[in-house]
Structure 1
Amino acid sequence: MSPDDLSPSGGQIPLDGPYYDLLRPGTELPRQPGVTLDSGLCAVYQALVGERLPLVQNRRICAEVTGSDAPLVSPGLVMALSVGHTTTVSRRVVANLFYRDVRLPHPVFQGQTLDTTVRVLAMRDGRPRPDRPPRGMVLVACESTADGTPAATYQRCPLLPTRGTDLPGFADDIGSGADTDHPTGGVDLEASAELVPGGWRLYLLGQPDTWEVGTTVTDPLRDYIDNTPALLHLTHNLAFVHRDAEVSPYGRRLVNGLQVVGMAQASLSRVLHGMATVVAWGYCNHTGPAFEDDLLSFTHTLLGEIPAGQGRLRAVRVRVTAHRDDGPADILDWTLAAVTS
């Protein structure tokens, strides 16, 4: 294989890389195969994260609320598949620095096919250090469609190593993720309310919980991470660090962050009665590494809420802690816009 075969040109997914110094702003990455979201795939995801959103679990309730004959696909699965598809740019990822402007503009139902495009928007060389190989930041625009309809749009910023010893000299303004000091955690409730389907009869999900803004609910049910390779295979995630302990800086496979997000969303679905779906994220900070067999606990803080459609939209902050023999460690700080009755 020639060095050119490691670049993302030509429409083929490279066997290795792509490396930072082989990318350029404007590059569109090769697409992974589209995935039809059938009941089997959704059932495997459910087994991995333990979610209980009624529109995902119950065909009859979904039809009564949404008018769709097919069950809703979990927004956690939509994002896990979408991000997995985008790992054509981040097989050699060191870390994902942030997500930005995450929107799920239309619900996805079983039977639809998800396709994803990834395009490089900007690049910035990392600061050289003598104790590590050169690396740089790559801002990419990601869009997934379900049968041609936008299903997930966002930007993310992986940190990638170079193949060679020299940095290419990019210094684009990449920015950062959402403001963690924002009153609703970077969630724009008014803008996100436009993503709530107006025709959904959300009141059929039951009386909403009484939850005072600013208060925190702790899920008494802790859960542990297992079967991590299964989710990687299910979602076409190609990142080496999640599959090969030898390329991990910890000497152990890192758990895919979207598995932790999926388990956090599952916890929220247990805590928040009448939860229908998620339509946006504020910020998603993986504050520490996650490993298989970690025991996780979850806390949920209501940051704000407004009426939306025939229900309400709530900005929620979810924090996840891993409990290990050497003590607890925070691993996720995530804000989202949840649609409820």
Structure 2
Amino acid sequence: MKTTAGRFFEDYRVGEIIPHAIPRTVGTGERALYHALYPARHALHSADSFAQSCGLPTSPLDDLVAFHVVFGKSVPDISLNAVANLGYAEARFHRPVWPNDTLTARSTVIGVKQNSNGKTGVVWVHTEGFNQHGDLVLDFKRWVMLRKGNLDAPAPEAVLPELTTVVPAADLKIPHGLDFSRYDTGLAGSTHTAADYEIGEKIDHVDGVTIEEAEHMLATRLWQNTAKVHFDATNRDDGRRLIYGGHVISMARALSYNGLANAQMIVAINGGAHANPCFAGDTVRAWSEVLDIAPTTAPNVAAIRLRLVATTGDSGAFPLRGEDGKYRSDVLLDLDYWALMPA
């Protein structure tokens, strides 16, 4: 037997370390495709000259390029037979990814719990991505609902990992050399720096983008994400392919430029939930809430903690949850992250 149907829920054991194939060298081609797929306009990821004026040797790839590539590496071993990817926690971006870096990944199983229906279960993993020097580029924890391959397999003892809700500002990794002392707000596209935002402030990002099947398929293939629910229309009873949740994250992040143009680099994702599925034809809108603002040790660099929400409805509608505690049906994404911007 030379082919594999992938792993199912009963195939995971807590403590197991799973190295992922295949190394991936990323470059300016990935940047161009990323900016073609999303309306990404943050200046630090768009121009070498702007990045150099901020103390970096060249423009790093968009932070979410690294996230998507490392996530994609994990899919064949973790979520090939997923019903859905449910959420993220404790994601840290340890260093930038530069053009021509080569990324590899591995995951450690940190939790399992069979669902009451006996047909599916949830697996928690800690995934790490490394560059060609063996340096940790990013790591994150995520949990995914998986089908059971053998419905008669006994339920494992439930192990639920303890996850922190927020990466402390003091633990954020600031890229070496980053310096916003000469930051050009005119070139960046906005005069609003960290001092102009208030905790609790909500920002409607105004714009919307309709998700198309073709762009989603291109994105999923670009990240080498082989999850069946994204490719095979016969894999779901409704005959519809799910839009990769990371595609929604990148779309919402790109939309957030209108109102947060100076939130240049993502340095942590505190938590995130894919509240409802997204399908081709849905129009994504976004809003953000400022949760915290903190100083850093880098010159004129502040950290801003943001809640980014993507919806298919009114981008300014509140509350997000109904009386039953569940997300409204039009909420796609609820993401809590730290970004760096001029103080």
Q: TM-score range, shorter-chain basis?
A: 0.7 to 0.9
Q: Deviations over 1:130-154 (max 9, x none)?
A: xxxx222212120001222211111
- Aligned 8 A contact 1:82 1:144 in 2: yes
C-alpha separation in 2, matches of 1:36 and 1:243? 24
| SS of match in other structure, 2:209 | strand
Q: Does 1:135 align with 2:120?
A: yes
Partner of 1:15: 4
Greater mean alpha carbon deviation, residues 199-208 or residues 286-295: 199-208
* RMSD between aligned residues: 2.1
Report 1:146-157 matches (<5 A). 146-147=131-132, 148-157=134-143
- Residue 45, structure 1, aligned to residue 34, structure 2: yes
C-alpha change, 1:16 and 1:276, in structure 2 (3 Å) is same
SS of structure 1 residue aligned to 2:220: helix
Q: Among 59, 83, 88, which residue is 2:71 paired with?
A: 83
Please state whether the residue corresponding to 2:22 is helix, strand or coil. Answer: coil
**Shift of the alpha carbon at 1:198?**
5.5
Counterparts of 1:201 and 1:237 in 2: how far apart (Å)? 35
Name the residue aligned to 1:168.
154
Q: Distance in 1 between matches of 2:237 and 2:54?
A: 47
Secondary structure at the counterpart of residue 258 of structure 1: helix
2:306 corresponds to 1:316:
yes
Question: 2: CA distance between counterparts of 1:316 and 1:265?
Answer: 11
Q: Tell me, in whole angstroms, the C-alpha distance in 1 between the residues paired with 2:261 and 2:146.
A: 41
* Residues 1-341 of structure 1 mapped to structure 2, 5 A cutoff: 1=1, 15-69=4-58, 71-88=59-76, 89-128=78-117, 134-147=119-132, 148-175=134-161, 179=165, 186-192=166-172, 195-197=173-175, 199-203=177-181, 204-206=183-185, 208-209=192-193, 210-226=196-212, 227-308=215-296, 309-310=298-299, 311-323=301-313, 329-341=330-342
- The SS at the match of 2:248 is helix
Normalising by structure 2, report the TM-score. 0.86
CA displacement, residues 211-270 of structure 1 (integer Å, 9 cap, x when unaligned): 121011111211122210111111110110011122125431000000000011112233
- Indicate the SS of the match to 1:202: coil
Unaligned runs of 5+ in 2: 186-190, 315-327
Distance 1:19 1:156 in 2: 16
More moved, 86-95 vs 23-32: 23-32
Q: Tell me the amino acid that sits aligned with residue 302 of structure 2.
A: R
Q: Identity percentage over the alignment?
A: 23
1:152-190 deviations in Å (ceiling 9; x for gaps): 1111111111111223331232246654xxxxxx35323
Residues 21 and 73, structure 2, Cα contact 8 Å, conserved in 1: yes
TM-score under structure 1 normalisation?
0.86
In structure 1, list runs of 5 or more residues that go unmatched: 6-13, 180-185
Deviation at 1:33, TM superposition (A): 1.3
Residues 90 and 167, structure 2, Cα contact 8 Å, conserved in 1 = no
